[in-house]
Amino acid sequence: MTGLDRTLIAGLETFRGLSDQALDRVLAYARSARHAKGSEIFSQGAEAENFYLLLSGHIRVVRTSPEGHQVIARYINEGELFGIAVAMGRTTFPASAVAAVDCVALAWPNREWAELQTLFPAFGASAYQTIGARLQETQAQVMEMSTEQVEQRIAHALLRLVKQAGRKAADGIEIDFPITRQDIAEMTGTTLHTVSRLLSAWEQRGLVRSGRQKVVVTDAHGLMLVAEHRRRD
């Protein structure tokens, strides 16, 4: 008995509609762990033995190509499942997960996946919906990379980050975790140089305010116009 309290996960989309007993059962084989900023929760190619749920913090999911290029597949927010290789019938992780800030995550042994899915069909449905949603997002990303220029892609990426992990700041919305130019470049398939140049240009135009590992969107509407490749109406 790890003594995890059901209030940890009550209210999360993934477990919606589950009774208190159900939640207790879900937690029965879960282990909670803290992951320091910058540490790897799991590693691309490693044998997948657990699946995870992020309780607090932000996680970067990174794929590295054979040639050593890194691409950030997505950021995981609080309350989301991640590392669910088991749900896709995989035995290894297709990407690495790195804590963008200090994080707390639950981990279940993979064996529990089938179990929980059988016991609580709603959990299974929600999980698969998550995967479906990620497939949609990823395909949308392909679309973006096929049809948009770098400037629009970066604008879209920032808007998405702000939407998913925005925190109200004095003069706009700040992305809630440290993020470098390099990170943004790896999200959008460009270079940190180009990102730096564009952020500088946008800062001049009053769309963003950015600094070391920090981005504040000060004019979301203006940025949306950039994302749509139009000038301010």
Partner DNA sequence: GCGCGTGTTTGTCAAAGCGCAAACTCGCCT
Partner DNA sequence: AGGCGAGTTTGCGCTTTGACAAACACGCGC
Under the binding rule (CB under 8 A), the answer on residue 46 touching a second copy is no
Q: How far apart are CA 21 and CA 124, in angstroms?
A: 17
Burial degree of 26 (CB within 10 A; 0-12, 13-18, 19+): buried
CB nearer to DNA: pick between 117 and 191: 191
Under the binding rule (CB under 8 A), the answer on residue 88 touching a second copy is yes
Under the binding rule (CB under 8 A), the answer on residue 146 touching a second copy is yes
Site for DNA in 115-174 (CB under 7 A): 149-151
Out of 2, 91, 139, 213, name the contact with a second copy by CB under 8 A: 139
Determine contact, residues 51/107, Cβ cutoff 8 Å.
yes
Determine contact, residues 136/191, Cβ cutoff 8 Å.
no
Under the binding rule (CB under 7 A), the answer on residue 64 touching DNA is no
Which residues lie closer than 8 Å to 45 by C-beta, 6 or more apart? 92, 93
Under the binding rule (CB under 7 A), the answer on residue 176 touching DNA is no
Phi, psi of 106 (to 5 degrees): -90, 145
CB nearer to DNA: pick between 21 and 147: 147
Q: Angle CA(176)–CA(147)–CA(181) in degrees, nearest 5?
A: 30
Binding site for DNA (CB under 7 A): 149-151, 180-182, 189-194, 196-197, 199-200, 210-214
Site residues (vs a second copy, CB under 8 A): 63, 65, 67, 69, 71, 73, 87-90, 94-95, 125, 128-129, 131-136, 138-139, 141-143, 145-147, 186, 189
